[in-house]
């Protein structure tokens, strides 16, 4: 009878989750076991490429090594508490992670790509006034395995939903959270995403979205080559401070300097995200000020008409206002796109994650 890793596990399971190890950490762990570096590459291929969760099924690894791995490590993904599918094809998962905490991630299929919007914290501390996740407050940062597990589940589901010829092509760290507050764990996840033995994604396919925490932006630029999306959402400091508390610490002049200094690989641009709130930041004067503020920066602009929800009074601007704003930016020389709302019927649209996903957490936050 063939043994399984679960049968080999000690009674009191104190094993570390293998998904908690980035590429360098995994290589170090394998070296501690007296094995060569290429064994780490074999493990990455089995877990992330072939989707094997049991060490004893890894047939090109010696039985003794497999037993040693099973005694020290486990492979566990977050539990899927609920799956919702939108009429537009968007899929949202509510995951249960350590301690019973719950997080959400969203799969967005398109003709030329399949994008996963990933969470890296439980709740969010930033407090943006137009975001449902802000109502929760921040409980904690997610561990590496809790982030990787969302991606690995989505990768497997893409094959199940769309067939072997489609693959998870883009990752956006946006979801619930301020990713740069969890940079060390995020960096480990990015190492797996870029590994030729794991997710095999180029840096062009990975985006980190931030509210503009300048120390975090500096780390992101210095320690990785992935894309940056900056959530700006205002054309003046007065506006931005009203809806985005980080602006009270790092104003728009300081933020612009950080953007000027952010290293960009050839032909890359920073994405400027701009949530449009009716009557607040969507007027002609706002568009002109935004165009002036961005002058000289390598950027493209992503306009996001507000997705309304009951807990706040903000409203979505009408289509004519959005188009007028977009045209001012285009005529000023910018690539300005309007983000198409996806998954609105399952609260999966931008700014709506965890609106109904975890009522207990929302009750505590309120």
Look up residue 349 and give its DSSP letter: S
The answer to whether residues 275 and 306 touch, using CB atoms and an 8 Å cutoff, is: yes
Rounded to 10°, the helix 23-32/183-194 angle is 80
Buried b (16+ CB within 10 A) or exposed e, 293-318: bbeeeebebbbbbbbbbeebebebbe
List residues with catalytic annotation: 104, 350
Choose among 277, 275, 284, 297: nearest CA to 331. 284
In 3D, which of 149, 146, 120, 94 has the Cα closest to residue 355? 94
Q: Which string of DSSP letters, residue by residue, matches 59-114?
A: TTS-HHHHHHHHHHEE--PPEEEEEEE-TTS-EEEEEE-GGG-EEEEEEEE-SS-E
């Amino acid at each position: 009878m063939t043994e399984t890793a679960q049968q080999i596990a000690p009674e009191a399971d104190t094993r570390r989750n293998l998904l908690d190890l980035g590429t360098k950490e995994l290589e170090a762990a394998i070296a501690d076991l007296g094995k060569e570096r290429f064994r780490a590459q074999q493990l990455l291929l089995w877990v992330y490429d072939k989707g094997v969760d049991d060490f004893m099924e890894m047939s090109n690894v010696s039985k003794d090594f497999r037993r040693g791995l099973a005694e020290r490590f486990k492979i566990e993904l977050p539990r899927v508490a609920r799956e919702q599918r939108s009429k537009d094809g968007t899929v949202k998962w509510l995951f249960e992670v350590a301690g019973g905490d719950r997080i959400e991630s969203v799969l967005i299929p398109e003709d030329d790509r399949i994008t996963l919007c990933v969470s890296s914290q439980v709740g969010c501390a930033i407090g943006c006034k137009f975001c449902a996740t802000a109502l929760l407050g921040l409980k904690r940062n997610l561990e590496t395995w809790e982030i990787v597990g969302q991606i690995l589940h989505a990768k497997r589901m893409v094959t199940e939903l769309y067939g072997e010829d489609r693959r998870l092509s883009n990752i956006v760290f946006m979801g619930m959270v301020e990713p740069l507050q969890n940079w060390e764990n995020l960096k480990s996840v990015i190492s797996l995403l870029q590994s030729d033995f794991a997710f095999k994604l180029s840096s062009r396919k990975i985006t980190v979205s931030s509210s503009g925490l300048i120390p975090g932006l500096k780390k992101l630029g210095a320690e990785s080559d992935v894309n940056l999306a900056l959530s700006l959402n205002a054309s003046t400091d007065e506006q931005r401070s009203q809806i985005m508390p980080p602006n009270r610490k790092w104003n728009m002049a300081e933020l612009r300097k950080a953007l000027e200094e952010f290293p960009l690989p050839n032909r890359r641009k920073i994405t400027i995200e701009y949530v449009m709130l009716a009557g607040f930041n969507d007027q002609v004067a706002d568009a002109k000020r935004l165009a002036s503020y961005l002058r000289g920066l390598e950027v493209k602009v992503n306009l996001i008409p507000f997705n309304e929800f009951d807990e706040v009074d903000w409203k979505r601007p009408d289509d004519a206002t959005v188009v007028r704003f977009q045209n001012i930016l285009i005529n000023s020389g910018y690539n300005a796109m309007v983000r198409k709302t996806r998954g609105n019927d399952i609260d999966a649209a931008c700014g709506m994650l965890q609106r109904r996903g975890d009522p207990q957490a929302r009750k505590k936050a309120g």
